[in-house]
Amino acid sequence: MSSSEETEPENGNNNSGDALGSATAMSRRLQTFGSPDLAVTVGVDEHLYKYHSLILASQSLYVDTLLSSPAARTEQEKRRISFPDITRETWEKMMKYLLPTNTIPSADDLVEIIPFYDKYQFLDGMAYCDKILAKLYIGSYDGYGYSEHHKDLAWLTAYIYDLPDFFPKSRPLAIKWGGKFLSRLWGDDEEMIKTLLPLIENDNETTRAMVSTFLGRKCVGMTMNEMRDLVKQTDFPEQCIVRNSQISMLDEQRQKLQIAYLDVCGASDLVSGKYDERSCHHERHVYAGNHCGGAMGYIWEKKDTRLMDDGASVTVKVGAIDCYGSAWEIYSFTQTDDEEETEHSKKVLYRWENGIFTSLVPPKYGWEKAEDDETFVKSKMCLSYSFGKPYY
């Protein structure tokens, strides 16, 4: 967008405000025009620029309408436009990123210019931002939906959410990013969680992931309506932040508790035996969302050597239900040859739960056995282990 400033620069040369650079196609076209005929003032100090009115009007419906409006009573009024709410720095960025250009705005710049592109209807500017935003959202995924620009992306997600016609490429990716971010509950910023929550409150997948991450396996059996009600509670963002802080503390404590081996005795042949430690972050059988921590940081598993009639194998696991270790389960499930869990094959065999105490590692005593009528009775089954470096 070719412009010239009214004032002379200190070096005495006429300072051209050509935002696209002298070598661009548009700037070469502008050489066929006469001198800039439109005065534009920006900011409270009314910094003055000169533009070709036809070119600026072609970029902004607002400018086009204003220049052709009957409300402009005199020719003088038609040749002067003011943008008092835009600073000089922001205006120059807006002009710099108008097509055609190869200059790529940063996330900070997008936060700065998109609202004004929207307000003053710079449609080509918004289309270019849509293209850049789409790449930015795609590039932000590192498996967890996290980006160094996550606060800017959260703000942009909320802003473009109501503008599907102007951001057709980036808006679906923005919603997907917001869902990924929230599902991991990485919100160390309560305001950020509040910004994103309304955008995905009806997204079942994200809601389920958020609740399972927040409650662990205690969310099993909850209906989607119950999960949505939990997420919509006004103090939910604050609870998430408190929980994340607690998990960080529990993780530090848990790292000091290395279990060298784990044996279960006093149970059936299926349950008794030696168990191997596994990190929940690499679990194929994910039962507690994607962010496991504290007592849920590890599970212990044992594969039964016998095969079922359909060729599936049986695996038994010991794992905490929540990050605090307030409840633990020993459960079995069947797996196919490719180690995928058979649907609906999980069966809880033993349970430990204490309303007073918690445990960051599997409790040794106090387990209850599951009966056929789905009740639990006291059991003599116990665990044996020692702390230290694992033997495998």
| pLDDT score for 286 | 36
CA of residue 366 relative to chain centroid, distance: 40
Dihedral, 191, 193, 195, 201 alpha carbons, nearest 10: -150
Report d(CA 210, CA 226) in Å as an integer: 13
Q: How far apart are CA 63 and CA 48, in angstroms?
A: 16
pLDDT tens across the length of the chain (392 residues)? 555 554 433 333 333 444 433 344 555 555 556 688 889 999 999 999 999 888 899 999 999 998 887 765 555 566 889 999 999 999 999 999 986 777 899 999 999 999 999 999 999 999 999 999 999 888 876 544 445 678 888 889 999 998 999 999 999 998 888 887 777 665 566 777 888 888 876 778 888 878 877 777 677 778 888 988 888 888 888 887 777 777 777 777 777 788 888 999 999 888 999 999 888 643 333 333 345 678 888 889 998 766 655 567 888 999 998 878 889 999 998 876 666 667 778 889 999 988 778 888 999 999 999 988 878 999 999 999 988 765 54
Alpha helices in 234-386 (DSSP H): 236-255
What would the two tokens of residue 216 be? 């662990």
Distance CA 282, CA 259 (A): 18
pLDDT tens digits for range 155-200: 899 999 989 999 999 999 988 888 877 776 655 667 778 888 888 7
Angle at 390 between CA 386 and CA 392, to 5 degrees: 135
* Assigned token pair, 114: 């998109």
Distance CA 92, CA 20 (A): 11
Give ∠ CA 138-290-153 in degrees, rounded to 5. Answer: 30
Question: Residue 48 has what pLDDT?
Answer: 93
Q: Cα(70)–Cα(76) distance, rounded to whole angstroms?
A: 13
Give me the phi and psi of 108, to 5 degrees please.
-60, -40
8 Å CB contact between 147 and 171: no
Cα distance between residue 66 and residue 106, in whole Å: 30
* Cβ pair 149, 140 in contact under 8 A: yes
Residue type, 361: V
CA distances (Å), origin 266, targets 166, 214, 239, 302, 327: 66, 34, 40, 16, 20
pLDDT value for 261: 86
* CA 147 – CA 175 distance, rounded (Å): 15
Q: Which residue has the tokens 């349950």?
A: 271
The pLDDT of residue 204 is: 83
Per-residue pLDDT, 305: 65
Is the Cα torsion angle 137, 124, 167, 234 positive or negative in sign? Answer: positive
- pLDDT score for 295: 85
- Give the pLDDT confidence score for residue 110 in this predicted structure: 95
Name the helix (H) or strand (E) containing 224: helix 224-231
Phi, psi dihedral angles at 123 (to 5 degrees): -65, -40
Neighbouring CB atoms inside 10 A of 36's CB total 19
214, two tokens: 């927040």
Token pair, residue 262, equals 């784990």
* Cα gap 109→222, rounded to integer Å: 43
